[in-house]
């Protein structure tokens, strides 16, 4: 994490604190207000976090992804209790349930045929559980074009 500054890590903590609490992805302005720093400093900090692959930014500098959370609707919504989030992919949707250590419901569709399907993520997964997910692009190539992948 060389090149990162204390503000970068503080903003990252604030982002995930909000998301795990059920709030929407925070804007640059909201982060500036929460951290009591200028929006320009937040923008520079988010850029450093993006360069470190800790966030993915939109062209306007706002956050698009704080993995596993998406700031925009995706085909991978997950509901846990009364709260819902969007995962960037099926793996990320399952990751949200894992982060919260709570069971969840992902309402998605088959990547091959488009058939609607519900995936129930249990609170615990045993060694004998059968889970399969198909990834069209190898994980080593995800950051080549993270928004497309």
Token pair of 133, please?
A: 């997910």
Q: Tell me which of 127 and 46 has the higher pLDDT.
A: 46
Closest CA to 49 of 34, 31, 36: 31
Q: pLDDT per residue over 67-82, tens digit each?
A: 999 999 999 999 999 9
Question: Any idea where the domains of the chain sit in the sequence?
Answer: 6-66, 77-133
Global confidence as pTM: 0.85
CA 37 distance to own-chain centroid: 24
CATH topology for 6-66? Arc Repressor Mutant, subunit A (1.10.10)
């Amino acid at each position: 994490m060389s090149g990162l500054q204390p503000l970068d890590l503080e903003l990252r903590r604030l982002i995930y604190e909000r998301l795990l609490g059920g709030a929407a992805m925070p804007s640059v302005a909201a982060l500036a207000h929460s951290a009591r720093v200028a929006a320009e400093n937040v923008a520079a900090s988010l850029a450093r976090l993006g360069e470190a692959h800790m966030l993915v930014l939109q062209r306007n500098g706002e956050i698009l992804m704080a993995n596993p959370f998406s700031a925009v609707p995706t085909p991978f919504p997950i509901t846990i209790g009364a709260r819902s989030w969007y995962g960037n992919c099926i793996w990320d949707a399952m990751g949200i349930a894992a982060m919260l250590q709570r069971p969840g419901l992902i309402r998605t569709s088959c990547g091959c045929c488009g058939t609607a399907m519900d995936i129930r993520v249990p609170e615990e997964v045993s060694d004998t559980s059968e889970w399969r997910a198909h990834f069209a692009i190898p994980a080593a190539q995800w950051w080549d074009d993270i928004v497309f992948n």
